[in-house]
Structure 1
Amino acid sequence: MGASTKGADMPEIAEALSRMEGMLPAVGTERVALDKAAGRVCAESLAARLDAPPFAVAAMDGYALRWADAGAPLRCLGTARAGDPLGGPVSPGTCLRIFTGAPVPPGADTVVVQELAEAAGDRVRILPGAEPHRHIRAAGDNLRTGAPILRPGTRLTARHVGLLAAAGHAEVAVHRRPRVAILSTGNELSERFAVDRGAQILDANRPALKALVQAWGGVPRDLGIVPDEPDALSSALARVLDAGDIDLLVTSGGASVGDFDLVCPTLAALGFAPAFRKVRMRPGKATLFGQFGGLPVLGLPGNAVAALVSALVFLRPALSLLAGTGRAALPEERAILATPLPATGPRTTFLRGRLDRGPAGGAVFAVLADQDNAMLSGLAEADALVLRPADAPPAAAGEPVSIIRFDRAPGF
């Protein structure tokens, strides 16, 4: 997917993504409690507010003592459990029965595990095999006050939330979820099949795109279906701009050059500044991106497979840029072809297929026979795309290829 200088009006994928990058600044921030932070993107540098643990604690059940006294029977002073207040010091010739997580008393430098100690009344004898200076977690072993723990741009997981809690943070600044308006165009489209409406196609693109936006960290806003009429489309686009609360507009359909493909001319009449109007890829050539009135617009093809492949290539990184994580790369990896492939022609080509595991344990990719760009059934059956460079020669079965596994782009 290397950048190309040929066809400035129809860039390669990498060049198109590069043009998008400067037009998608990260959205604003908000503070959320830790129980709302998972999946959000951290927007601040954070440091530990305290030592963790805040005091030395026992790492095992056993006896806390001074190792210098371990050669003779010791008098047990009592018991310390997790949550007990810090007691008095261990003096020479004494020990303390202690449990995991309990504060280690002053003076003790060793916890001997209970299996290596023998108790009789209040006397404890240390058995052979015990080792000095073991089984104590020193104060600050996990975290030191002021130590950096998180950087901006980190997508927060349960691990990060736990770390924040251990470091003394009850809330965190995160980037607001990008708000994405989704619009379908086409006289033929319908939300529900009606017998008396004549020829119609149920709109699959908006439901699928809303699902992708949500899975990839955004908040979808459904703008419905707009007919192929310039005034209707112009009015819908103007309403989005006037609302002023959308971070990205995504359209599907009407982005090609047919008589009723009105997205490009309607946007142009509204002052649209394009970054690109086509992309050197298949499917997905009729993908456009730019801005009007400061609002970024991603126009996707109308064919369902082309729309979703383009969403994987362009919408996913657009959302990651808006969310503050930087541009998400396509999750490429290598596989071996199970079936031969023809030459690709002048565009980067994505073909749907199934993955299996080969005799050596590696991934084996078999291309599906039906590659029709309007047939979602084949995309739903597939579990990966093979990515073929422009002008690639035929590939024989057994050759290595680049693939994009759907489970590496959750939600697709």
Structure 2
Amino acid sequence: MRSVAEHREDLLALVSPIGSESVLLSDALGRVLADDVLAAADAPPFDNSAMDGYAIRVSAGGVGSWRVSQDIPAGRMPSALEPGTVARIMTGAPMPEGADAVVPVEDSDGGIGQVELRTWPVVGRHVRPAGADMIAGAVVVGAPRLLRAADLAAAAAAGQPRVTVARRPRVSIVVTGDELAPPGATLTGAEIYDANSTVLSAAVREWGGEVVSAQRVGDGPAELLRSLEGIEADLIVTAGGVSAGAYDVVKESLASRGVTFGPVAMQPGKPQGWGALHGVPIVCAPGNPVSVAVTFRLFVVPMLCAMLGVPTPPLRRLPVVEGWRSPQGRTQVMPVRILDDAVLPATAGGSGSNLVGSLAAADAYALVPAEVEMVMPGTTVDVMGLVP
């Protein structure tokens, strides 16, 4: 059997960065920055007051009564400071020529035409120099990075209305199974609710991709092949029909069309398919919902990250506080909870591929090496996060 690492490397060889596009800041939250954001101008563009108060020239005198020669609200360019006077100034307003410090209004009687100043600062006190935050042409937000609200605020303050981001990988999803019914339907006969369409569609968006199509098809080859015709995507992900059963439609239909099928030494998710279909990379996961979720996180996430031009999030090494069994010979992907930076199983049933109802209790997956049969309390395991 192929190891998890070997399988991941072969899948990564199928993809590469897919280019970038320019978007408005209002559309950039959560996107991957592809080019550095540079400051369009110095920020602030002029010396300005850090306080509501009075702009003074330090060498002109000291505490006492002063005539107020002008008001300077934010957004208005002032006149030069008249000798022997002070200027009433608001936070963020430009400093008048000739002034070099600010007395806060709290250190005065708040006068308008005449003011009593009770303190006398040193040069530069309560003044924000031009360029103190940003210098024109300097990098404000460096690429690559997943853009947060704070990053977009910095880009706006830098005078940039748009940013260049990695294009979202377009992903087409096909879920197979005659037994699948949509959530909300009344189940009949041997039907079960389809969780695979939901987990794949949500995970693609969560990890920066765009779902261009999501189809649920039965176990007939003709229906499956029709669903794959004319797909315009950067990646295809299927769920179900890849094992050795009599109705494994994905394997039956695609094995002769450039897609390879075989076991990977992992639990859950042992049966896997991979390759390219009509030049589009394809990942074929088994049909049990936990196997689908694990396949996505182990293999599809690194592919999406490679297409976006960002590194796959690193693993964490955490101690175990409650042990569990692991199948020898296969890497176990165990849903775990994280409490106080330590892990314990998230399910009572181990890493069973059918335990999708318990996935909501998991904070992460623990990766247990193939040679380990029992994970003991006090040992450590590699832990893989579920979200970016």
TM-score, with length taken from structure 2: 0.89
Name the amino acid aligned to 2:313: A
Partner of 2:280: 295
Shift of 1:286: 1.7
3-state DSSP of counterpart to 1:302: coil
Structure-1 separation of matches of 2:138 and 2:10: 38
Percent of matched pairs sharing the same residue: 35
Shift of 1:250: 0.6
Question: Is it true that 1:402 corresponds to 2:382 in the alignment?
Answer: yes
- Of 307, 328, 344, the residue aligned with 1:345 is 328
- Of 283, 297, 305, the residue aligned with 1:312 is 297
Question: Is it true that 1:252 corresponds to 2:239 in the alignment?
Answer: yes
Name the amino acid aligned to 1:199: A
Q: Is the 8 A contact 2:43 2:157 kept in 1?
A: yes
Question: Is it true that 1:50 corresponds to 2:41 in the alignment?
Answer: yes
Name the amino acid aligned to 1:164: A
Structure-2 separation of matches of 1:382 and 1:259: 33
Q: Is the 8 A contact 1:67 1:133 kept in 2?
A: no
Q: Is the 8 A contact 1:344 1:389 kept in 2?
A: no
What RMSD in Å do the two structures reach over aligned CA positions?
A: 2.6
Structure-2 separation of matches of 1:364 and 1:175: 34
Q: Is the 8 A contact 1:112 1:131 kept in 2?
A: no
Q: Is the 8 A contact 2:36 2:143 kept in 1?
A: yes
Describe the superposition over 1:312-347 as per-residue Cα deviations: whole angstroms up to 9, x where unpaired: 21222222222x24242355341432x232354112
Shift of 1:248: 1.0
- Of 68, 82, 86, the residue aligned with 1:95 is 86
Partner of 1:135: 126
- Structure-to-structure mapping, 1:47-86, within 5 angstroms: 47-71=38-62, 73=64, 74-84=66-76, 86=77
Name the amino acid aligned to 1:334: L
- Structure-to-structure mapping, 1:5-404, within 5 angstroms: 7=1, 10-12=2-4, 14-71=5-62, 73=64, 74-84=66-76, 86-118=77-109, 122-128=113-119, 130-191=121-182, 198-237=189-228, 239=229, 242-243=230-231, 245-272=232-259, 274=260, 277-322=262-307, 324-329=308-313, 331-337=315-321, 339-357=322-340, 362-366=341-345, 368-371=347-350, 372-404=352-384
Structure-1 separation of matches of 2:290 and 2:112: 77
Q: For the structure 1 residues 271 and 403, does the alpha-carbon distance in structure 2 shift closer, same or farther, using more than 3 Å as the test?
A: closer
Describe the superposition over 1:27-47 as per-residue Cα deviations: whole angstroms up to 9, x where unpaired: 343322221111122233331
Q: For the structure 1 residues 211 and 121, does the alpha-carbon distance in structure 2 shift closer, same or farther, using more than 3 Å as the test?
A: closer
Query: Does 68-77 or 310-319 show the bigger shift?
Result: 68-77
3-state DSSP of counterpart to 2:122: coil
Query: Does 162-171 or 40-49 show the bigger shift?
Result: 40-49
Name the amino acid aligned to 2:196: N
Shift of 1:106: 0.8
Structure-1 separation of matches of 2:22 and 2:385: 34
Gaps of 5+ in 1: 1-6
Q: For the structure 1 residues 184 and 343, does the alpha-carbon distance in structure 2 shift closer, same or farther, using more than 3 Å as the test?
A: closer
3-state DSSP of counterpart to 1:27: coil
Partner of 1:3: none
Query: Does 371-380 or 203-212 show the bigger shift?
Result: 371-380
Q: For the structure 1 residues 343 and 46, does the alpha-carbon distance in structure 2 shift closer, same or farther, using more than 3 Å as the test?
A: closer
Q: Is the 8 A contact 1:345 1:390 kept in 2?
A: yes
Structure-2 separation of matches of 1:139 and 1:396: 59
Q: For the structure 1 residues 51 and 310, does the alpha-carbon distance in structure 2 shift closer, same or farther, using more than 3 Å as the test?
A: same
Question: Which aligned segments of 4 or more residues in structure 1 are displaced greater than 6 angstroms?
Answer: none
Gaps of 5+ in 2: none
Q: For the structure 1 residues 53 and 61, does the alpha-carbon distance in structure 2 shift closer, same or farther, using more than 3 Å as the test?
A: same
Structure-2 separation of matches of 1:125 and 1:163: 39
